[in-house]
A and B are shown apart, each in its own frame.
Chain A
């Protein structure tokens, strides 16, 4: 499904962008028509109007009423043909009719690329591609969010992924509509579907020919309200036996120009009515609201194509090419990877390198490529990402089915990759682990887990695996990281020395800021994004949440000194003027929702940094309530002055703090429990909760919030699905 969606999107992309862009332009036509067309009241009938037109415009042959209500008379006199706009109320001529050359040109492009029948075919294929993309994309989204009911849950991922998902959710209904109707029209054009129920060309009957009555007196025409008219063809000049041919919404008939009788009438059949309805839905002609909707839907397509291509490119870039991969027949160690975004492959490569360094013969493959047996393998290592709420990732969908026929008995270990903020953290990995055990394989290690690609978790698991295998395994995973930039420390403030928890607030700037467009500048980042910092002599970067955005002119982080922490010790030792190597990792899932709804910010220790940044940037003064946890107000009340200023300026509504090293003190989660009434009231107002800090603190807060929401019948998981409960825990 993902492959279908990717390939269809890439190859059909240009075709589809073209169709959507021209389609959007065409959607403006009904709107322009609606704005310029003259209106008539419902009392006007065809006979009276035709009478007036015939008197006004000698040589009138046809009167055509478009879907928008515009009336055009076609005349031929002395060999000169002309088209005249007619006022539908009075029948008076209202100027020459000149169809828009621009819209005709675009229509031709949209229908056939100006390539005749080949182009018509291509347009039909484009409709089918859009249809396939819309359906496969919807199914992918259902899989990603974990079910049809969660289809409208908040989207996650990088900027491109979220934009792609959000646009698709808005546009997909319209895209289904336009692609189905477009494909239908194309099928009719190629006679794959009938346009009518086989109606044959009917010869027009003849008028009695005795006399010619005034048009206004013709009863059959007087019975037709103008609003029903499609087209009226006048009898040929000087031929008393010719007839009026009238086409209405209901069908086509012939009227005797002497007696005024309807000589014959052929109603439209079901196929014709279906075609007309589909034509209306596709073009919006005569229905400006439909046109507006279809046009806006079309506008989403180029954006979807661009964001989709970015996602595809990122995933491709994240899938490493393996060198020195031993054949599965010869390998003693098999590594199977189940990856969605592609990042687990990087971990597999690190594991493969470490094992090869120890003289092992390693085979790496996707989980879907599980063989029936591995003749020489004694270990099976499975690295399985969990997609969304515990579903299998793309490269592992067939794994459990294939496992049923698996015949070897190597020892196994499963390592799950996931996001702890999901309810089903590593749910798929747990299923794989259980299935392998049930198959009778011996477990080398209990199920391991890596939260949000933590290199530390991975290294720890590697240590355990090495101990079990009797190999000194060192898993030094370095995610392929973007080029680093040099930044200079400009300011440092130290807290928490007195309570044995040193925390330093560091502000960095671009070197030699010259202010010009071409001088060195800060990379782009928002509050809550992460900066990766590589300490001198260190291999893996450490990530810190940002308390500032690039438009503040400084990059600000808050670093707690860890015992034996290479990077935190390096940062604590920095003095202004010294440089760091850094890069930005966007963290779009940890940002306040736009709007004026209240925000509840909960943080402890250095975790308060991004929260303080959000407060600083609260220019619209939405209600923001901050809960802070520290050790001692005299020592590590981070951002105290900053927050006090924000309170005075109205950017912060309330500030609650609790400290653990003072008499009667406690943790921030105790504070949340104490303020349960306030939290409940705010949540009922649609408040968003953002938690930042250590994992233990985040779990404690989650429990406290869960208890506090229970009387409302709400849960933290429920809020998470709506994007109203965000965690950034480490």
Chain B
């Protein structure tokens, strides 16, 4: 199984002032077996009230398909500007797993924040909120509803 990994340093707004107050979090998104092109994925963080906080990772290079990641695109369009520098990668094939590493402030854990994954495949399905998992301080796993098989949180 192909491992896609990237180290993500979030903006200062997210990071605590002291490194001791932050945690490395890994988010593993494994896809089901399906036929068709590789999937575009958006992995992003939402606030306790459900509004958009920030984008952790976008898989897929052709920006014209970003609109198909509907929940994320809508959230971003309300949130204003978007900078994806350094947090995009290749689209993810059937049965493969995407691993995203993030350095998150302790204050975000167990506080109602959620990690969401939207998925879309060219000439295939589009799933907003394909998988949603609460950002907790203990490892957890949740099931997806579309192309995502499971999403798991490692700390």
Contact = CB atoms under 8 A, between A and B. Distances in A.
A242 B74 contact: yes
Interface stretch (B8-16, B20-28, B97-105, B124-132): B124-132
Contacts of A199: 64
Contacts of B93: 116
B36 A201 contact: no
Interface stretch (B65-73, B106-114, B133-141): B65-73
B40 to A, nearest CB: 11
Interface stretch (A74-82, A323-331, A491-499): A74-82
B125 A74 contact: yes
Interface string B58-84: 000011111100110110111000000
A101 interface: yes
Interface string A327-352: 00000000000000000000000000
B51 interface: no
A62 B126 contact: yes
B90 to A, nearest CB: 9
A107 B35 contact: yes
A7 B62 CA distance: 38
B62 A79 contact: no
B145 A245 contact: no
Contact of A101 (B35, B38, B67, B71): B35
Interface residues of A, number: 27
A236 B35 contact: no
Given A81-B146, A116-B93, A195 B76 contact: no
A81 B67 contact: no
Given A81-B127, A105-B35, A195 B70 contact: no
Task: Identify which of A74, A201, A205, A236 gathers the most chain B CB atoms within 10 Å of its CB.
Answer: A201
A281 to B, nearest CB: 17
A196 interface: yes
Contacts of A233: 70, 126
Contact of A201 (B64, B70, B78): B64
Contacts of B71: 236
A59 to B, nearest CB: 12
B78 A206 contact: yes
A105 B63 CA distance: 27
Contacts of A239: 74
B35 A203 contact: no
Contacts of A195: 62, 64
A236 B77 contact: no
Residue among B64, B93, B127 with the highest chain A CB neighbour number at 10 A = B64
A193 to B, nearest CB: 13
A108 interface: yes
Contact of B35 (A62, A74, A104, A201): A104
Given A233-B70, A236-B74, A81 B64 contact: no
A104 B36 contact: yes
Contact of B73 (A105, A107, A204): A204
Contacts of B38: 116
A202 interface: yes
A242 B74 CA distance: 8
A445 B37 CA distance: 71
Contacts of A203: 73, 76-77
A201 B68 CA distance: 10
Contacts of A192: none
Contacts of B63: 200-201
A100 to B, nearest CB: 10
Interface string B31-49: 0000110100000000000
Given A79-B145, A81-B146, A201-B64, A206 B77 contact: yes
B35 A204 contact: no
Contacts of B35: 101, 104-105, 107-108
Contacts of A205: 77
B125 A201 contact: no
Contact of B74 (A62, A200, A204): A204
Interface in A54-89: 61-62, 74, 76, 79, 81
A-B interface, 10 closest residue pairs, ranked by CB to CB distance from nearest: A203-B77, A201-B66, A104-B35, A201-B63, A108-B35, A200-B63, A204-B77, A201-B67, A79-B145, A199-B64
9 contacts: A61-B126, A74-B126, A76-B145, A116-B38, A116-B93, A204-B67, A205-B77, A206-B77, A206-B78
Interface of A: 61-62, 74, 76, 79, 81, 101, 104-105, 107-108, 116, 195-196, 199-206, 233, 236, 239, 242, 245
Given A201-B63, A236-B74, 9 more contacts: A74-B125, A76-B145, A104-B36, A195-B64, A201-B64, A204-B74, A236-B70, A236-B71, A239-B74
